[in-house]
Amino acid sequence: MPSTDMKQLLYKSIEEISTLYRNKEVSPVEITEATLDRLQELEPRLNAFVTVLGEQALAKARKAEAVFVKGENVSKLFGIPVSLKDIFMTKGIRTSLGSRIMKDFVPEEDAFVYHALQDNGAIIIGKNNMLEFAYGSVHPDYGQCNNPWNVSRTAGGSSTGSGASVAVGIGYASIGTDTGCSIRVPSSFCGIVGLKPTYETVSRQGLFPLSHSLDHIGPLTRTVRDNAIVLEHISSRRFNFDSWGEIRGIKVGVIRSLTDSIMNPEVSALMVSAIQQLKELGAQLYSVEIPGIESIEEAAMPIVLAEASTYHQKWFDSREKDYSPNTYANLREGYKVTAVSYLVALEKKKAFTEAVDQVLKQVDVLICPTVPYPATEKDPSFEDGNIDISQRTIPFNMSGHPALSLSAGNTGSENLPVGLQVIGQYFDEETIYRIGDAFHQSTGGYKKPPL
């Protein structure tokens, strides 16, 4: 177990740790050791990791320490412990995808994001637990990843281990994927910051796909600025940190149909409070509606179902018993989607994207709740009919606009986090980061779970 002083450092920002490294006040070896100790302290209660890369991480940390001793100029991620959803190819390291079928699979290539993290000196401490093939259901061989605010609840999927580990100081960031909600739901449930960037901002090379039309890759972190730092290093984007802080005059469109329809009174109250806070920070608030947003989730299903089933043709007939029942049921439905249904869905996707663009010509950003409720006991699944979890997130996978989830506060009854979602114009992550950072700073920022 890490000492109290070291444990406090595990919750510092990436920039703070980077500065401590440069000033030689703490070493990458010390931070990596403390991170791995924290992991051992909380596993398997969290069940956030499939593979732990302890020896590899410490070897990388020792090399990073030598670089800082020499005073070399390196990136902000250099020597920073991070994790990776177990859906990305990692050469020589098992990539399970949370499945029995791939449990012993060792790729011969690196995913782009893994390569980018390595190139920038990040220390990969392990690969995170996830829903099977990122497809809405946990495989019993791996088990549910638990929520750090209440281990009897789920951390949220499909980037389950990414959300849980970052929230409790096991690494400063994790890389997840989001096809309908899979970065933003864990962020909402665990009280952290998660970004689904603009479509194709981060290369999907080396990612096992779920739905190539909707898949996005993005970072999960504890602060908005950490999120931007990570995105800078896994994409070609750069952000002007000096412009952050002031959001006076920014036009914020509240998506009323997705906000006023919240049935949970505590979530609704937190949204009202968040909107008021943005107003007090000087944002100009507008009520907006996006035509078709209430039904766009239904249009997304033929796309997800058909595309996902495409990637499982070699296993579907022969490995039924190796899938979880819900995953197999989803794949079976995918083979029933007709070409006409799929093409009609793509046309609806295009029309909806244009509708979102039209609204974003009137305002700078959009906001709504991330999820209509706090963490549930189990991961909701399509097979159980629980698709409302992605009703407020999947619209922006369909449109491809960037969407950021950050904590709007915790419920009073059970002390569980609730997410606020901020959606921006294409390739304008900077504005949603700016609003998210101002909101985060004004509400006290990241809050530690009780674990």
Supply the residues annotated as catalytic: 85, 158, 182
- Cα 451 to its chain centre, rounded Å, is 21
Which of 239, 209, 247, 220 is CA-nearest to residue 89?
Answer: 209
Determine how β-strand 251-255 pairs with β-strand 284-288.
Answer: parallel
DSSP 118-135: HHTT-EEEEEE--SGGGS
Identify the bridge partners of residue 177 per DSSP, sorted by sequence position: 217
Place of tokens 């509240």: 254
Q: Name 55's Cβ contacts closer than 8 Å, sequence gap at least 6.
A: none
Helix (H), strand (E) counts: the chain = 16, 13
CB atoms within 10 A of CB 336: 11
From residue 286, alpha-carbon distances to 172, 249, 267, 360, 363 in Å are 35, 12, 20, 12, 8
